Amino acid sequence: MSSNAFADGRAGIDASLVRRLIDRRFPRWSGLPVTPVEWDGWDNRTYRLGDDMSVRLPTAAGYAPAVVKENEWLPVLAPGLPLPIPVPLGLGAPDEEFPHPWSVRRWLDGETATAERVNDMTRFAVDLARFLKALRSVPADGGPAAGAHSFHRGAPPARYHDQTVEALDILGDDIDTEGAATTWQAALEAESDAAPAWFHGDIAPGNLLVRDGRLSAVIDFGTCGVGDPACDLVIAWTFFTGESREAFRREVDLDEGAWRRARGWALWKALICLSGIDDNTGDVDAHRRVIATVVEEDRRSR
């Protein structure tokens, strides 16, 4: 199959391709079954290999650098973290059939987080906050500075100023654009003087695994790097509410400036999805709730 088959991302990636790639690159695993997983991701597609491994393939060239990055840095991060993260077992090189690097990892048991699968949301919020604190504490020397490989997660939110302004213009009176613009400006002005630290970059329910009702593992470090960890706080509004949100905020232990920038990150993402700038629009009502909540929180904080 020509590499052009992968020009539109997910097209062309299936279990039969994974089977052929494994047979060529890792013949010791060639007899193991390859099966799709329930949540196979967007930036990457994931397949189970046998009982104990997974195979992860980037869906476009822009996601490929993350494969090599994770292969190098996940083993560095893992010893300092209180929960399991993916363990790289093999790195596949691009070839004539698949044009990107790809990886084999140890399988992590668990289901992706949903409100229904979590027994105690406040305890879940505390466990996640402690994980993020531990991640920030891993020595950052030599780590990949925030940039294109992290889609600028960990950089100042100003990187997405033009998109935010465009989204506000598109939405007009459909939302509280004045309040949203004020919240965005507060995020831009809340510059950080803290030392760069490790961040995950995509702390979302789909990247959090649950077993027996509790947080059991954190996956998908493709947008990780070293910079401003404020981007990892967005889940405060996309998954937590009320007591769990407050518990997360207390335990994660970041200053008000970080929370202003975090509100900016949450606002930007909700705006571009609601306005249609981002094709992956998701839950429209959820985006509206995020916008209204962060604007109101910002208003109360002043």
Question: Each residue of 96-142: pLDDT tens digit?
Answer: 999 999 999 999 999 999 999 999 999 999 999 999 999 999 999 99
Residue range 222-281, pLDDT digits in tens: 999 999 999 999 999 999 999 999 999 999 999 999 999 999 999 999 999 999 999 878
12, HSE (Cβ side, Cα atoms, 13 Å): 17
Strand segments, DSSP code E, in the chain are 34-36, 44-49, 53-58, 88-92, 102-106, 111-112, 197-199, 208-211, 214-218, 225-227
Residue 7: pLDDT over 90? no
Structure tokens at 81: 């973290």
Cβ(221)–Cβ(74) under 8 Å? yes
For the chain, what is the total number of helices (H) and then of strands (E)?
9, 10
Structure tokens at 112: 């992706």
First to last CA, the chain: 57
Residue range 38-91, pLDDT digits in tens: 766 668 899 999 999 999 999 999 999 999 999 999 999 999 999 999 999 999
Q: C-alpha angle with apex 262: 260 to 263, nearest 5 degrees?
A: 65
- Give dist(CA 216, CA 109) in Å, integer: 8
Query: Which phi-psi region, left, alpha or beta, contains residue 3 (left: φ > 0; alpha: ψ -120 to 50)?
Result: alpha
What is the pTM for the complete model shown?
0.93
Structure tokens at 209: 């695994």
Domains of the chain: 3-108 (3.30.200.20), 112-301 (3.90.1200.10)
Q: How many CB atoms lie within 10 A of CB 9?
A: 16
Output the pLDDT for position 299.
96
- Give dist(CA 293, CA 287) in Å, integer: 10
Write the DSSP assignment of 54-97 as a string of letters: EEEEESSGGGHHHHHHHHHHHHHHGGG-SS----EEEEEPP-SS
